[in-house]
A and B are shown apart, each in its own frame.
Chain A
Amino acid sequence: MRIKRIVNEINSTTTDSTIEIEKLDPVIEKFRNKKGNLIPILQATQNTFGFIPKDAFEYIAEKTGLLLTDMYGVATFYAQFRLKPVGKHIIKVCHGTACHVQNAGIITESIMEALKISDGETTPDNLFTLESIACLGCCSLAPVMMIDKEVYGKLTGKLSVNIVKEIQLKEKN
């Protein structure tokens, strides 16, 4: 149920002094006073910061006259929007039907074990965020996962962990 997420995340939206809120000006300029602009503004905000900081909500409300309640309602309704910072790389493990039948659970569990985080969490070094998503539409390569924009198919637990570790290694060097 979508309502549950609000409770979980409402407290985690923190004020962060490192956010350069002015980066939003061109976004606001582009969408101001256009009907149906709420979702595109939030999408552009997330593209800018990787998530939607609390400050951004207030800034947008001030500049556009959109209501905070409306924005918050929308941001917590759609799966795409994040209210807390994410890791540098986002691991999206597909849990669509085809992937489920081909044992996608193992992929998530193996990565959880390897990175010592739960589904939906970010590693302490802010390198990875692990997410489960509904379907990537690459069903014939099931089970699949997507890290950043790259899709990996025909995975096994071991293989997925190796891919993650490889990225980890690259980051360290």
Chain B
Amino acid sequence: MEKIKVLVGMASCGIAAGASKVYDKIFELKKLENLDFELVKTGCTGMCFREPLVEIIDHSGSFLYGEIDEKKAVEIFEKHIKNSEPVKDYVVKSDLFETSDAPYFKGQVKTVLRNCGVIDPESICDYEKQNGYKAIKKILNENITQETVIQTIIDSGLRGRGGGGFSTGMKWKFAYNNKSDEKFIICNADEGDPGAFMDRSVLEGDPHSVLEGMIIAAFAIGGTEGVIYCRAEYPLAIIRLNIALSQAREKSYLGKNIFGKEGFNFDIHVKEGAGAFVCGEETALMASVEGERGMPRRRPPFPAVSGLWKKPTNINNVETFANVASIILNGAESFNKYGTEKSKGTKVFALTGKIKHGGLVEVPMGISINDIIFKLGGGIQDDKKFKAVQLGGPSGGCIPEYMSDILVDYDSVNATGAIMGSGGMVVMDETTCMVDMARFFLDFTQKESCGKCTFCRIGTKRMLEILIRITEGEGREGDIELLEELAYQIKDGSLCGLGQTAPNPVLTTIKYFRNEYEAHIKDKKCPSYNCKKLITYTVVEDKCTGCVVCAKNCPVNAITGERKKVHFINQEICIKCGVCFNKCKFEAIKLS
């Protein structure tokens, strides 16, 4: 009988949810009882809303257990691992029977995330068992030419997954056409877009797939050196990348004459970012690698002509590289059979915000936003009303509920004023104020503007000031028009993508939620009861039973009152967090 395999999801988010304790518990029991089974630390299955996750694969099938703590781990150990009796109550996915969470996986097609949560990311053997490094070996063994590799990528229709949406194959072709004895391959892992975490997941769950993608790119364009520019906020990703790199070097998959091919020299090293959103822009990223302030420069010359250290350079995003090996191995058709006419393949989305089932989903391009949110994501938390979805982070925009039947591909999303970006999807319900969202994003871009272009540096600051005054009830007649005017000037007067897209969150919210702006400015009201200067929490005296629940839960002790007597909220101390409102069982807290 084959050995039982127990996988514990140990990506950053799993660890944050408590996966380490679960792993340690199972490890301890395994040792104590001297049982023979395979215990593996794996990456993220994408089912973040049920973390920590433990998967058990035995002779009968696979069982994914969700929301496991130490106590449940002991129970599963006793019943399932020791006595082969699955604990069905905790199973969230199985290949043997239906579960209530099964719809989350229906409609997903896993290419990029194929190995995440399946293999041990710290084992090169595990990756090789899943056809790892077969694509590059196929190229070398069958003497496939550089041109053919590039053509295959062009034919697949793969477009840059970092947000640009430029054809990956064409990019490679440009870099290939520029002759130089030194060429660089850069992997952009500076995932600064708040609300997106697919790159982290891939790096933590399947780092070798990114390395293989980079090696194939190096072969195709004649790259001699690789750099992975990874943000410092992802310490685990950096650790696992470095493990993967040394394993690949040991096997001669990196270094000199790699894969036994004479003259094929390519090595990769990790460069840690230092915390600047603008470094996701390719020219700023290269400046940062060179050790300078991460400020973008004019293009042309494009990186393919003169990039890092003035050599031809090809830059792709993590998710883009993770797609490459499978395209080479299975052919362009395996990729372009999914998707729409101009947007091929699958795309990973990070589903977060006020959604029931938040996590990572990989779906074919061309699926509707509604399907992602309601079929896969299970709808809105607490069954509140769906208001909008924010796509593309600080460079993107908000798509309102009534447009949520649009299909997700680069062009349809661009038409709404949002952008695909890296695939962050933040869902908002009726309690989210759209003016506040615009303020939030402007606050972000204003801080992250590198300061090179006047319009971006000063314009975003002025826009932020206007948005702050609107959310504080100090908005003036004509502010909306002023915001729009500034927005178009910033778009026109900025050098890089950061400035050119920074006004998008404001423009889309004005376009689709103008009434909310007007309510703030004219009526001094926040329709979503969100903007703190415009709301107050008070106690309804007839309804208050003096149960002290509100006072106990108040984080700043603004509520006073004795047991069984009416309570009182001190407005001077109150930070308007709404905890009392949510905790009160007697509807005795009024929000106005």
Asked if A101 and B17 make an inter-chain contact with CB atoms under 8 angstroms apart, the answer reads no
A137 at the interface (CB under 8 A from B): yes
Set A38, A98, A106, A110: member contacting B292, Cβ < 8 A: A38
Set B233, B426, B428, B556: member contacting A113, Cβ < 8 A: B556
B575 at the interface (CB under 8 A from A): yes
Asked if B192 and A135 make an inter-chain contact with CB atoms under 8 angstroms apart, the answer reads yes
Asked if B555 and A101 make an inter-chain contact with CB atoms under 8 angstroms apart, the answer reads no
Which B386-442 residues have C-beta < 8 A from chain A?
390, 393, 424, 426, 428, 432, 437, 440-441
Residue of B nearest to A74 (CB): B293
Q: Indicate with 1 or 0, residue by residue over A20-54, a CB within 8 angstroms of chain B CB atoms.
A: 00000000000000011111101100000000000
Known: A74-B292, A78-B274. A110 touches B197 (CB 8 A): no
Known: A140-B48, A158-B579. A36 touches B195 (CB 8 A): no
Count the A-B residue pairs with Cβ separation under 8 angstroms: how many? 179
Asked if B449 and A109 make an inter-chain contact with CB atoms under 8 angstroms apart, the answer reads no
Q: Indicate with 1 or 0, residue by residue over A70-92, a CB within 8 angstroms of chain B CB atoms.
A: 10011001111100000000000
Set B275, B350, B437, B555: member contacting A78, Cβ < 8 A: B275
Known: A137-B12, A140-B13. A78 touches B197 (CB 8 A): no
Q: What count of chain B residues pass the 8 Å CB interface test?
A: 67
Residue of A nearest to B353 (CB): A101
A161 at the interface (CB under 8 A from B): yes
Asked if A144 and B276 make an inter-chain contact with CB atoms under 8 angstroms apart, the answer reads no
Asked if B272 and A137 make an inter-chain contact with CB atoms under 8 angstroms apart, the answer reads no
Q: What count of chain A residues pass the 8 Å CB interface test?
A: 53
A68 at the interface (CB under 8 A from B): no
Known: A37-B291, A109-B577, A139-B197. A152 touches B16 (CB 8 A): yes
Which B267-314 residues have C-beta < 8 A from chain A?
271-277, 288-294, 309
Residue of A nearest to B201 (CB): A137
Chain B residues near A98 (CB-CB < 8 A):
194-195, 352-353, 358, 426
CB distance from A145 to the nearest CB of B (A): 10
Chain A residues near B575 (CB-CB < 8 A):
106, 109-110, 113
Known: A1-B461, A110-B555. A156 touches B428 (CB 8 A): no
Give the distance in Å from the alpha carbon of A142 to the alpha carbon of B49 in the complex: 11
Residue of B nearest to A76 (CB): B293
Chain A residues near B393 (CB-CB < 8 A):
97
Asked if A134 and B444 make an inter-chain contact with CB atoms under 8 angstroms apart, the answer reads yes
A-B contact pairs, 23 of them (CB 8 A): A1-B461, A35-B291, A70-B292, A73-B293, A74-B293, A77-B276, A79-B274, A80-B232, A96-B194, A97-B441, A98-B426, A102-B354, A106-B555, A110-B555, A113-B575, A135-B195, A135-B196, A135-B233, A140-B351, A153-B17, A157-B555, A157-B579, A161-B555
